[in-house]
Amino acid sequence: MLRERLSIYLSGLWHRKQHEQHWSTDSRFLGAVSVLILLLFYLDGVVESFKEPKGKARASQYQTFIRNFYKFVSKRILAWGYLFDGPGSIQRAYRVSGGAPFEILAPDTRMVFVSSPEDIKELDRVPDDVLSLNGAAKHMLQPVYTMNGFNWFDRRGVEGVGFVRTLRSLLTQNLPLLLPDLSRLARVRWAELLEKKGTLRDGAIHAPVYPMMLDLVVLMNARSLFGEDLIKDTRFMTSALSYVEETLLTAEIVKLLPRFLAPAVGGFLGWALRSHKTFFQSLIPATEQHIQETERKSLGHTVPRRADCIQWIIDTAPKQNPWPAERVIYELMAIWFGSVHILSTTIVYAIHDLCLHPEYVKPLRQELETCYKEFERTGGRDAGGALPLLDSFLKESARLTPVDSMSIRRCALQPYSLSTGTHSLEVGDWACAPSGAINLSATYYTSPDEFSGFSFVPPSRVPDDGWWKKRDGSSTSSSSLPMQSTPSSLTDVDSSWLMWGTGRMACPGRHYATAFMKTVVAQLLLDYDFKLAEPGSKRWISWRVAKIPKPWTKVLFVPRNRECIY
Ligand code: HEM
């Protein structure tokens, strides 16, 4: 009963209308849970405030209480404020810091931000058993409650890092094999979604673009990760999306609870919200089949050729001690979680930007009509097929509306002092970089606050056929567009471009992610004219460092006759 209620509440978050009958009861239920969490967290802090500061002379109990309580209240207000305006808090602290490290508190973590190229390099150099990306991911996702009980290692490489090779090399190399299929899925599914979820009014289809994009990304990403067969399994596909939403919800609740309550509440939520179990169990038969085929192949039998991540993880797992199906699935669950939300959100902001800057549509379509075939053929990896104008547009969109304002998250597994000597990290603290604030820095960007969609391409590649007009009408020459002094690509990794992290651990899925986003945006651009229903309205909600698109923001789609490019 309770399990059912939680599921209803969860889906009600995204599909309010469909569950109107449950909404008011569930709002009260959510309200009660939130008040309980706040109260418990408050009590946890009060208990903390009674503890004596180490190494200091024992003051009277009363003075100690007042001092600690005051410190506790002011820190907690700031820490809880961070939850609702993380990007703003980081931006303000970055401006004040003048490039030096600075500290921000969240209710559950202390974070030390570094932003200079030297400090960023230092984070990359520190060994994983001191500052750990896995440790930070583990804290963020609470896998022990959300991933069918699997608890990741804090340190990388304890069982090999096959998935990094899987994504960086095999997935990237196989893009030419995947892209035609992904393009087809994007076209067909988007048309279906518009029919199902859109409302036809005055010749345009009014569509809630974020939930629809999640649906599309789940389908396309499942095709790449799990192959063609599983995407036909409706139960699996439903759990694939709910698993991401339920993981986010469970992890947030567990992180905000007093530590002593986390195992009980996390365990309960893991039991009540079952998508991770359905997702896990549905993957077992397909993964076992892949493993058997791999064994048969090694004995010289002929087996079907599989082009999906299940196969590539099996191929890159440690050879001496091959992984059972369960272990392969845990890798897939982590990759799945890390890719669905960030891809759909980044694409949604790119669609919003196309609506807000419609002058870019014509040159982008021209590029697609001449180069899209080459993009598919090469996987977007060589100059001809890289779609440089779309690449730059996506980069500019992600620069000004990054989904995450933080990058290079590293959790301290041992105490560590930054070489600047200014900040020390205790076990459990995070070191990280203020990527969103760096994106707006005049040190790195010519016109940091202005949207300039082609600013990353060489000036000679920018069309100059009068497509662009300055907002005040004073110029129609694209040579007056703000341009970066050095051209660059979306997939580049640099201390001024931290979308993908840095160094050794920079996102191994970034070539795939870029090709994926280009495929979706290209298919929509070729098939539809679109504009925002309410261009002036706020388009996102902040939670911690994430900007989450509002699910009810509508885009108006008008089908167009596309130039045939196949
Ligand atoms: C717009 C989309 C994406 C963004 C912005 C993004 C960003 C990032 C960032 C910032 C990191 C951490 C790097 C660091 O801390 O130095 C990371 C790591 C990672 N990403 Fe992505 N990512 C995206 C899409 C994907 C996709 C589609 C996949 C898989 C198919 C993926 C797989 C991974 C994995 C496995 C890691 C961990 C790497 C390691 O432990 O060495 N990402 N990503």
Residue 342 lies in a domain: yes
**pLDDT at position 156:** 57
Q: Is 162 in the pocket of ligand 1 (CB under 6 A)?
A: no
507 is in an annotated binding site: yes
Residue 539 confidence (pLDDT): 97
Position 5 scores a pLDDT of: 47
Provide the pLDDT for residue 159.
Answer: 52
Ranges of residues in the chain whose predicted pLDDT is under 70: 1-59, 151-162, 471, 562-566
- Alpha-carbon distance 94 to 433, whole Å? 10
CA distance 49 to 324: 48
The reply to whether 478 falls in a domain is yes
Give yes or no for residue 172 CB within 6 A of ligand 1.
no
**Ligand 1 neighbourhood includes 493 CB (under 6 angstroms):** no
**Alpha helices (H) along 227-360:** 234-256, 262-272, 275-298, 309-316, 325-356
CB 238 within 8 A of CB 225: no
In a domain, 391, yes or no: yes
Q: Rounded to whole angstroms, how far apart are CA atoms 427 and 141?
A: 18
Q: Is 62 part of any domain? A: no
Q: Is residue 566 part of a domain?
A: no
Residue 508: CB within 6 Å of ligand 1?
yes
Q: Is 354 in the pocket of ligand 1 (CB under 6 A)?
A: no
- Comparing C-alpha atoms, which of 490, 502, 496, 492 is closest to residue 432? 502
pLDDT attached to residue 76:
82
Q: What six digits make up the tokens of 563?
A: 């130039």
Q: Is residue 152 domain-resident?
A: no
In which domain, by residue range, is 231 found? 162-251+258-293+306-402+439-559
Length in residues, the chain = 566
pLDDT at position 68, please? 80
Supply the pLDDT for residue 178: 94
Residue 566 has a pLDDT of: 46
Predicted confidence at residue 337, as pLDDT, reads 87
Ligand 1 within 6 A of 507 CB? yes
Best residue for ligand 1 mutational test, from 340, 507, 517, 518 (most atoms within 8 Å of Cβ): 507
Q: Determine the pLDDT at residue 481.
A: 86
Smallest Cα–Cα separation from 389: which of 343, 476, 315, 452?
A: 452
Q: Residue 18: is it exposed, middle or buried by C-beta count within 10 angstroms (0-12/13-18/19+)?
A: exposed
Please name the residue whose Cα sits nearest to atom 15 of ligand 1.
408
Q: How many CA atoms lie within 13 A of 310 on its CB side?
A: 27
Nearest CA to ligand 1 atom 36: 507
Residues near 300 by beta carbon (within 8 Å), at least 6 away in sequence: none
Residue 216 CB: number of other CB atoms within 10 A?
22
How far, in Å, is the centroid of ligand 1 from the Cα of 189?
26
Give dist(CA 176, CA 170) in Å, integer.
Answer: 11
Say what the pLDDT of residue 154 is: 62
What's the confidence (pLDDT) of residue 31?
55
Q: Is the CB of 176 under 6 A from ligand 1?
A: no
Whose C-alpha lies nearest to ligand 1, atom 29? Answer: 509
**CA 538 – ligand 1 centroid, Å:** 27
pLDDT number for residue 20: 37
> For the domain that residue 270 is a member of, what is the CATH number?
1.10.630.10
Distance 59 CA to ligand 1 centre (A): 49
Distance CA 480, CA 486 (A): 16
- The span from the CA of 504 to the CA of 168, in Å, is 12
In-domain check, residue 184: yes
Q: Which atom of ligand 1 is nearest to the CA of 435?
A: 10
Query: Does residue 74 fall inside a structural domain?
Result: no
Q: Ligand 1 within 6 A of 251 CB?
A: no
163 lines ligand 1 (CB under 6 A): yes
Number of domains in the chain: 1
* Beta pairing, strands 430-433 & 110-113: parallel
